[in-house]
């Protein structure tokens, strides 16, 4: 059977780093509060010339280099983002053009922080359905542009960045020993819309709007939703937490990551954490964390890796793959 196998990873971060202490003159907060409640110590913030498209392009080029491929080898680009350069055309098409790629097709996918998990699942279906052999899956965000910088309960939590993955069709035996995407589980439930949303849009206010979040409410649901969808993925694949080599969760809050890992029985040393360095980069957070763990040699060929995310909507999901 066809399996969607990871061939390359790449990342791109804005030049400017903003430390927790840099907020202290802007809103009533402290490095101590932010670090203690979230685990975040710094985040990258895009300059005017750094956009979702430019960061996505840079991450895509890094992933192509890592894979030893060029844009000519790619059939499809799926970009997970909630902060597109324009309402339309899709920023994925802009990235396609920036890469000098004039064949194949590209589209954006919007599932907020769960975007990359949704995008990997989508790319896997295109590959297994025979519509694409190689897919660039990108998560790129510039959340700094939709933050209310006077709201201390949200502005300290998010950062900008991009991560990219090259997925390619490979042969598998249909067993859990195969390399590639092995199982996935996706969920959404719109009854939670008002707990995490942007208060503007083309069809309502005609403006871009600002991110609004009831953090405590999101926190309350997060661990249960994350662990449910992971248990569904484990059961679809016939594995347990013990079989995992690496857990790469969405990087929103270290306390959510720790509580989820504990509830699932995933050992602390198997958890990849980058929230301290990047903050919450929404759809970019999982590929940025993956890129870091691949670049420093933690994730090796043959390792069993679990991706997980939860975000606005609510949307949530998990993907199990063998590297």
- Which residues make up the interface to ligand ACO (CB under 6 A)? 29, 33-34, 37-38, 112-113, 152-153, 156, 196, 215-216, 218-219, 222, 252-253, 256, 280, 282, 311-312
CB of 34 to ligand ACO, least distance (A): 6
Shortest Å distance, C-beta 323 to ligand ACO: 26
State which residue, 8 or 249, has the beta carbon closest to ligand ACO. Answer: 249
3-state SS, one letter per residue, for the chain: CEEEEEEEEEEECCCEEEEHHHHCCCCCCCHHHHHHHHCCCEEEECCCCCCHHHHHHHHHHHHHHHHCCCHHHCCEEEEECCCCCCCCCCHHHHHHHHCCCCCCEEEEECCHHHHHHHHHHHHHHHHHCCCCCEEEEEEEEEHHHHCCCCCHHHHCCECEEEEEEEEEEEECCCCCCCCEEEEEEEEECHHHHHHEEECCCCCCCCCCCCEEECHHHHHHHHHHHHHHHHHHHHHHHCCCHHHCCEEEECCCCHHHHHHHHHHHCCCHHHECCCHHHHCECHHHHHHHHHHHHHHCCCCCCCCEEEEEEEECCCEEEEEEEEC
Closest CA to 288 of 275, 305, 297: 275
Report d(CA 310, CA 249) in Å as an integer: 9
Cβ–Cβ < 8 Å for 119, 80: yes
CB 105, min distance to ligand ACO, A: 27
203 CB-near residues (< 8 Å, 6+ apart) = none
Nearer to ligand ACO, 216 or 301 (CB): 216
Residue 316 CB, shortest distance to ligand ACO, in Å, is 9
State the nearest-atom distance from the C-beta of 296 to ligand ACO, in Å: 25
- Report the Cα 253 to chain-centroid distance in Å: 14
Q: How many C-alpha atoms does 132 have within 13 Å on its Cβ side?
A: 26
Residues with active-site annotation? 113, 250, 280
Q: C-beta of 300: minimal distance to ligand ACO in Å?
A: 29
Q: How far is the CB of 37 from ligand ACO (least distance, A)?
A: 4
* Residue 246 or 316 with smaller CB distance to ligand ACO: 316
């Amino acid at each position: 059977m066809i399996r969607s196998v990871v061939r390359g990873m790449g990342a791109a971060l804005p030049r400017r780093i903003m430390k927790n202490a840099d907020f202290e003159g802007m809103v009533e907060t402290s490095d101590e509060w932010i670090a203690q409640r979230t685990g975040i110590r710094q985040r990258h913030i895009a300059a005017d010339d750094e956009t979702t498209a430019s960061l996505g392009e840079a991450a895509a080029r890094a992933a192509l280099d890592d894979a030893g491929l060029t844009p000519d080898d790619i059939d499809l680009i799926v970009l997970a983002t909630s902060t597109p350069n324009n309402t339309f055309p899709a920023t994925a098409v802009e990235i396609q053009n920036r890469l000098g790629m004039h064949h194949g097709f590209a589209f954006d996918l919007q599932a907020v922080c769960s975007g990359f998990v949704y995008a990997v699942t989508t790319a896997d279906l295109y590959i297994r359905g025979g519509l694409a052999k190689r897919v660039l899956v990108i998560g790129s965000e510039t959340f700094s542009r939709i933050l209310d910088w006077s709201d201390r309960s949200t502005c300290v939590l998010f950062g900008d960045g991009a991560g990219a993955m090259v997925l390619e069709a490979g042969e598998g035996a249909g067993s859990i020993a195969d390399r590639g995407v092995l199982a996935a589980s996706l969920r959404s439930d719109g009854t939670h819309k008002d707990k995490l949303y942007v208060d503007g849009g083309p069809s309502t206010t005609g403006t871009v709007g600002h991110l609004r979040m009831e953090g405590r409410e999101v926190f309350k649901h997060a661990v249960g939703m994350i662990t449910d969808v992971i248990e569904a993925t484990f059961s679809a694949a016939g594995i347990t937490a013990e079989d995992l080599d690496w857990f790469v969760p969405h990087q929103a809050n270290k306390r959510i990551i720790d509580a989820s890992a504990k509830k699932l029985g995933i050992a602390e040393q198997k958890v990849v954490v980058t929230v301290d360095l990047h903050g919450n980069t929404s759809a970019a957070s999982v590929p940025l964390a993956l890129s870091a763990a691949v670049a420093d040699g933690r994730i090796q060929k043959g390792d069993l890796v679990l991706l997980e995310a939860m975000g606005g909507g609510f949307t949530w999901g998990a993907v199990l793959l063998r590297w």
